[in-house]
Chain A
Amino acid sequence: LAKTTQPISMDSYEGQEVNITCSHNNIATNDYITWYQQFPSQGPRFIIQGYKTKVTNEVASLFIPADRKSSTLSLPRVSLSDTAVYYCLVVMNRDDKIIFGKGTRLHILP
C-alpha cells in the first residue's frame, strides 16, 4: 500500500494559482495517482488522475516527476468556492484496499 503525505493546510487568495504536493515514496509500478476534492458533508469528488508526466483537464493540472514519488496538483486562479479538503490517493488496478491520507485543507481568502 502506498502511503501518501500532504501538507495539513494551506491558505491562498482568490485569483492565485495553488499547488499542493503529495509524496508517495513507495508507489508501485501499476499505481495511478488520483486527486479528490471534498466539501463538508459530501463525498469526495474526482478531480484528476495521472500515471506519469503531466495531465491537464478543465479544472486542474497534475504534475508527476519521472520517479513518481510525488505529485503536484495545480489549481489555476482559485476562487472562494475552491475552499475544501484535497486528497491524493494512490490506486492500483483492482486494489484490495484504498487508504486515505489526512488530506490538505485549502482555505481561499478574498
Chain B
Amino acid sequence: GAVVSQHPSRVICKSGTSVKIECRSLDFQATTMFWYRQFPKQSLMLMATSNEGSKATYEQGVEKDKFLINHASLTLSTLTVTSAHPEDSSFYICSALGQPGSPLHFGNGTRLTVT
C-alpha cells in the first residue's frame, strides 16, 4: 500500500538552531502535501498545505518565515523550523495526497524537542 516516510522520527536541538524534517511519498506521486502539528492529547492542527512547484499556503497564526516549507518534487516535501525555541517543541506530522479518490496517507511523525 501507499507509504509516506518521514524523517527524522525524533530530534533534539538547541534553542536558536534550525531543524529540517523530510516527508517522502515512497510509491506514489503527491501533488499535495500537508503539514500538521500535534500537542499531547489534542487533535492534529493543520499548519500548511504545499503543492509541488508552488509556494505553501499557511494557516492563520502559522509564521511562514519560521516554518519554511519546500515541495520541490512530486515525492518530497520538507519543513524547516528556523531559529527553534522551546515552544516549538511538538509532534510534527506530514501527509500526502496522491491520485484522485485515493486516501490521504500520513508519515509517522517527528518528535521535536528544543532545549
Q: Mark A residues whose CB is within 8 Å of B.
A: 32, 34, 36, 41-46, 49, 87, 89, 91, 93-103
| A residues less than 8 Å from B34 (CB atoms) | 97-98
Q: Could you say which of A45, A95, A98, A100 contacts B43, with CB atoms under 8 Å apart?
A: A100
Contact surface of B with A, Cβ cutoff 8 Å: 1, 4, 6, 31-32, 34, 36, 43-46, 49, 57, 59, 91, 93, 95, 97, 100-101, 103-109, 111
Please name all residues of chain B whose beta carbon is closer than 8 Å to the beta carbon of A36 when the two chains form the complex. 106
Instruction: Note all chain A residues with C-beta closer than 8 A to B32.
Output: 94-96
- Give the secondary structure class of A's interface: loop
- Which of A32, A93, A96, A101 sits near B49, CB closer than 8 Å? A96
In the A-B complex, list the 7 residue pairs whose CB atoms are closest, starting with the nearest.
A43-B106, A93-B100, A100-B44, A43-B108, A43-B109, A100-B43, A44-B106
Given A34-B103, A101-B43, 20 other A-B contacts at CB below 8 A?
A34-B104, A41-B91, A42-B108, A43-B109, A44-B44, A46-B103, A87-B43, A94-B32, A94-B100, A95-B97, A97-B46, A97-B57, A98-B97, A98-B104, A99-B46, A100-B36, A100-B43, A100-B45, A100-B46, A103-B43
- Chain B's interface: helix, strand, loop or mixed, by majority? strand
Instruction: Report the separation of the CA atoms of residues A42 and B91 in the bound assembly, to the nearest whole angstrom.
Output: 9
The complex places the Cα of A97 from the Cα of B49 at a distance, in Å, of 6
CB-CB under 8 A from A91, the residues of chain B are 97, 103-104
Are A32 and B97 in contact, with the CB atoms below 8 A? no
The answer to whether A96 touches B103, judged by C-beta atoms less than 8 angstroms apart, is: no
Please give, as numbers and ranges, the residues of chain B lying within 8 Å of A87 by CB-CB distance: 43-44
Nearest chain A CB to B92 CB, angstrom units: 10
